[in-house]
Structure 1
Amino acid sequence: MLSACSQNEQDKGQAQQAQPKTVHDKTAPVQVIQPVYELSVPAELKPFEQVAVYAKVTGFVKQLYVDRGDRVRKGQLLAVLEAPEMQQQYLSDKSTEQQVHSAYVYAKQAYDRLVDASKTPGAVADMELDRAKSAMESAKSAYDASKAGTAHASQLQQYLRITAPFDGVITQRNVSVGALTGGAGNTPLFTMGQRDRLRLTLSLPEKHASSVQPGMHATFTVSSQPGKTFEATLSRTSGMLEPQDRSLTLEFDVHNVSGELQGGDYAQVELQLKRKNPSHWVPATSLLHTQSGTFVLTWDNHEVRRVAVQEGIRLDTLIEVYGNLAASDRILLKPSEEIQTGKTGSAAAFKTTR
């Protein structure tokens, strides 16, 4: 009798193992929503305009009028160079211009006299008139070229005066009086940047790129001023992902008239993002991670279906997913690889929750 009972229990256990495992679990609907979510990203404050001021022509530094930290206005004189050979070149070109101009005036007068004489029939041959006209035009061309050469020499002299290209502050002074500048291995005389207006630049990860809204606002903090929060508005974006790190570059203009902020500070930016279109969201516990990928299990009409999805962003207990899902689908809140797909055979296998 003991042997027979033991055999019956063994057969019963094998029969239970052969049947598919039925898991009683709860389901929830797929949510199609368009929520606003927050994202914190690092950024950098830079001067709105920043430039290294070079000397265009070779010369010695004769006078410096500014130093590091000085505020300057657009067009303000920063330094003066000296190059005596430029003055001599200008005088030579000016003398040549006057000489060529005299030749042009003489050729024009000769041509005008021949034109007056040609009004008398037979007084001047046509060839003589054409020759005088050609000589006048040639002299005029030479005069124009000489005048352009003089203007070029005069313009080079203007480059000896170094002026500020915009309103800003001198951040570096790299030369001293008497230094030769503008030659090979040219070193900038100054570096200057705009301080009353800054750029807040950040790189937004690819999966958030479609959530950027035109004119969106942001708040940020800097480590040099703990406890203070600043605001900025989106001014421009590249519109294309950077191939190096697959990110979208955003720029916010920051008005800094008070001078509280410094160009070069690192900032932590809080963004309010929102997808342009509603997307599918499911509870984070409903994702099934396997070696072959990430899935959710849907239950409809007593049938369990495994749907491959890609994860998006996370918001509290919900996570955004992309896959072959519909708004009418219901998903298992606690999926398992042991749950068999296909017909469950019982409508009571899963409980519905909201």
Structure 2
Amino acid sequence: MLLLAVGLGACNSRENPAGNLADREPAGDIVLISPEQFDGNGMQLGHPQMRNFAEILEVSGTIDVPPENRAVVSAVRGGFVKSISLLVGDRVRKGQRIAALENPEFLQLQQDYLETREQLPYKKAEYRRQKTLYGEKISSEKSYLQAESDYKTALARLGGLGSQLKLLNFDPETLEPGNLRAESQVYAPIAGSVTQVNVIKGAFVSQATEIVEIVDDDHIHLELTVYEKDIGKLRIGQPIRFSLPEQSGQQYNAEVYLIGTSIGPDRTVKVHAHLAEATGANLLVGMFVRAQIELGDPGTGENSGSTSVTGARDNASPSAMLSLPEGAVVTQGGQSYILVLEEQREDGYRMRQIPISTGQKARGFVAVTGDGLSRETTVLVRGAFSLIAAP
């Protein structure tokens, strides 16, 4: 029966030398892997190693961005929405037109600006004339002061009206009697993704109305919630492993960056964590996360696991535990399994699937225990996922 399985394995490997499936003996716990399958799928053998696992603090939190990376766009003055073409999820550039508002008051504001601008040269000339006459004792001080007041009032009014027009995205410098508009453009204050659109065409919006919300997700981070009793265990730089509830098999890396200094009404403290580089491609602002913070002093090696795939810690303490890379362990039906090498031959590898128990996890490694499992055991540490089957 063994020869038949080996023969089938050789046949399968010739048909699909880099296939993901290996042959399984009728006993159910023996897997035969051909050399072609082993090399073609990037499989790797290794040994369990003794590692000191950090104390783990399990917390929850969300994906968030800094306040300056989030913007709510509202109207400077109320008006009717003449146009808006954005949808949730659209990407916008800083300064991109996102909506247009219409209000007759915009026309009055432009008219007031033009009238004041046209009156200013006369008031300025009258002010200079009265100043000269007053200096020559020809006119009264009252006339001079009145002319000065009229000129400076007009100057201030012109500046104020111009600033209001700029807030509404009108250009006072190009404003002429023939190009007055009742339509004000609304532009994006930051680049990012549209997360909310709260208006429709024709709706009236006030200054309190949130037209759209834009989030720049170039600098997403973790905002974790830690209970008061645990905050004394945290240090800047401690490593974090986190996952999304709906993607529990995918782990991401981060580290503690800031620790809050005030306790909220629910007796918790906010902890800000930065994500590792190249992390965050599939993460969205607002997502809920579950995180594991490795406690201890970062950078000193105290209570920290090695990041090497195969190297053991020389200074492993008596409390160190046998460990394997997380990729070597496959869990099915609530039971964890690994593949142990029984025999390596010219025609391939004979592996036995054995059940194990798992413990703490840290930096890609998991503590393991099992019958006959030791540092001398040879284990398939890479490529086991598609080969292990539930009994």
Shorter-chain TM-score range: 0.5 to 0.7
Any unmatched runs of 5+ in structure 1?
Answer: 1-34, 119-123, 279-315, 317-354
Paired position in structure 2 for 1:74? 94
Paired position in structure 2 for 1:146? 157
2: CA distance, partners of 1:230 / 1:74: 30
| Inter-CA distance 256–130: structure 2 relative to 1 (3 Å threshold) | farther
Alignment counterpart, residue 44 of structure 1, candidates 47, 55, 62:
62
Specify the code of the residue in structure 2 equivalent to 1:45. Answer: I
| Inter-CA distance 207–36: structure 2 relative to 1 (3 Å threshold) | farther
Q: CA offset at residue 83 of structure 1?
A: 1.5
Paired position in structure 2 for 1:246? 267
| Inter-CA distance 227–182: structure 2 relative to 1 (3 Å threshold) | same
Tell me the TM-score normalized by structure 2: 0.52
| Inter-CA distance 36–241: structure 2 relative to 1 (3 Å threshold) | farther
Whether 1:233 aligns to 2:255 is: yes
Q: CA offset at residue 92 of structure 1?
A: 2.5
Any unmatched runs of 5+ in structure 2?
Answer: 1-52, 171-183, 303-359, 361-391
2: CA distance, partners of 1:267 / 1:43: 5
Identity %: 23
Q: CA offset at residue 257 of structure 1?
A: 7.5
Q: CA offset at residue 146 of structure 1?
A: 2.4
Please give the secondary structure, in 2, of the residue aligned with 1:259.
coil
1: CA distance, partners of 2:255 / 2:236: 9
Q: CA offset at residue 256 of structure 1?
A: 6.9
Contact 1:64–1:176 (CA under 8 A) maintained in structure 2: yes
Specify the code of the residue in structure 2 equivalent to 1:224. Answer: E
Contact 1:57–1:156 (CA under 8 A) maintained in structure 2: no
Alignment counterpart, residue 259 of structure 1, candidates 244, 258, 281:
281
Q: Tell me whether 186-195 or 168-177 shows the greater mean CA deviation.
A: 186-195
Paired position in structure 1 for 2:292? 270
Which has the higher Rg, Structure 1 or Structure 2? 1
How many residues in Structure 1 have an aligned counterpart in Structure 2? 232
Q: CA offset at residue 136 of structure 1?
A: 4.0
Contact 1:39–1:272 (CA under 8 A) maintained in structure 2: yes
Alignment counterpart, residue 164 of structure 1, candidates 180, 183, 188:
188
Tell me the TM-score normalized by structure 1: 0.57
Listed as ranges, the matches of 1:122-201 within 5 Å are 124=137, 128=139, 130-131=141-142, 133-158=144-169, 160-182=184-206, 186-201=208-223
Q: CA offset at residue 89 of structure 1?
A: 2.6
Q: CA offset at residue 137 of structure 1?
A: 2.3
| Inter-CA distance 149–206: structure 2 relative to 1 (3 Å threshold) | closer
2: CA distance, partners of 1:83 / 1:142: 27
Root-mean-square deviation (CA, aligned residues, Å) is 3.0
Whether 1:87 aligns to 2:98 is: no
Contact 2:134–2:141 (CA under 8 A) maintained in structure 1: no
Paired position in structure 1 for 2:47? none
1: CA distance, partners of 2:61 / 2:165: 46
Contact 2:62–2:222 (CA under 8 A) maintained in structure 1: yes
Specify the code of the residue in structure 2 equivalent to 1:261. Answer: L
2: CA distance, partners of 1:73 / 1:257: 23
1: CA distance, partners of 2:112 / 2:56: 70
